[in-house]
Structure 1
Amino acid sequence: MMTALLIAIGGFLGAIARYIVSTWMNKKSSKGFPIGTLFVNLLGSFLLGLIVGQGISSGFYSFLGIGFMGAFTTFSTFKLENVQLRENKKHTILYPYLAYSYIGGILLAFAGISLGTL
């Protein structure tokens, strides 16, 4: 029961943090590029890699890794934005967004894990 509570509290805080950071970043972009979602997902990939690399305890991992980072990053918004960009034929935004998200996310997760194991 305690694990579920830690995940719920972390998720609550992660969702609020995602909203604040994503909204702040999107205000800086006027070209239609979903910079807010890209930023939180790339930052989340790095931070989760760092958490995993450090091998933190299961209780703290439940709170921070599963709860906070799970709610901070957003796969559903990422997919919705991809569909919207495709439907609006904004391929010059869609393709870089896909590349930055997937390639950048993987590279930053590896970087976080590597840094966490130092």
Structure 2
Amino acid sequence: MTVLLVALGAAVGAPLRYLADRFVQSRHDSLFPWGTFTVNVTGSALLGFLAAAPTGHGVMALAGTGFCGALTTYSTFGYETLRLAEDGARALALLNAAAGIAAGLGAAYCGAAFAEAL
């Protein structure tokens, strides 16, 4: 049953990640990967909220592991950072790495704090 919940969450999160990434990136005329940055920060905030909220195992499997796991993407973050560096945009690569990690951690903390405040 847990595997099915994870798969169901991922079936929603993965296409949403793709669509959100394309939507955000199409509105920026920049080499910086704003789409991936946005979905990673959003997913981190949601996962932080879910981790601190009094939810059951099923909710975490569906929304945490499945949805947030498919919505966020460390592999694309790594690839895009490497691509920026290889293309000569080393400052943007460094900014992407530092901002992505800091914003993701900060968003997770804020999500958890929000859940605890409720």
TM-score using structure 1 length: 0.96
Q: Which 5+ residue runs of structure 2 have no aligned equivalent?
A: none
Partner of 1:55: 54
- Count of residue correspondences: 117
Q: After superposition, where does 1:35-114 map in structure 2 within 5 Å?
A: 35-114=34-113
Runs of 4+ in 1 over 6 A off after TM superposition: none
* SS in structure 2 of the partner of residue 32 of structure 1: coil
* SS in structure 1 of the partner of residue 32 of structure 2: coil
Letter in 1 for 2:25: N
Deviations along 1:42-91, one digit per CA (max 9) or x if unpaired, are: 01111100111113110111000000000000011001001101111102
Q: 8 Å contact 2:81–2:94 — kept in the other structure?
A: no
After superposition, the CA RMSD in angstroms is 0.8
Distance 2:16 2:85 in 1: 28
Q: Which 5+ residue runs of structure 1 have no aligned equivalent?
A: none
Letter in 1 for 2:24: M
Distance 2:111 2:30 in 1: 30
Partner of 1:30: 29
Distance 2:55 2:88 in 1: 44
Q: 8 Å contact 2:37–2:100 — kept in the other structure?
A: yes
Distance 1:37 1:55 in 2: 29
TM-score using structure 2 length: 0.96
Letter in 2 for 1:51: L
* SS in structure 2 of the partner of residue 28 of structure 1: coil
Partner of 1:21: 20
Q: CA deviation at 1:93?
A: 1.3
Deviations along 1:1-54, one digit per CA (max 9) or x if unpaired, are: x10000001001000110111010010111111000000000111110011111
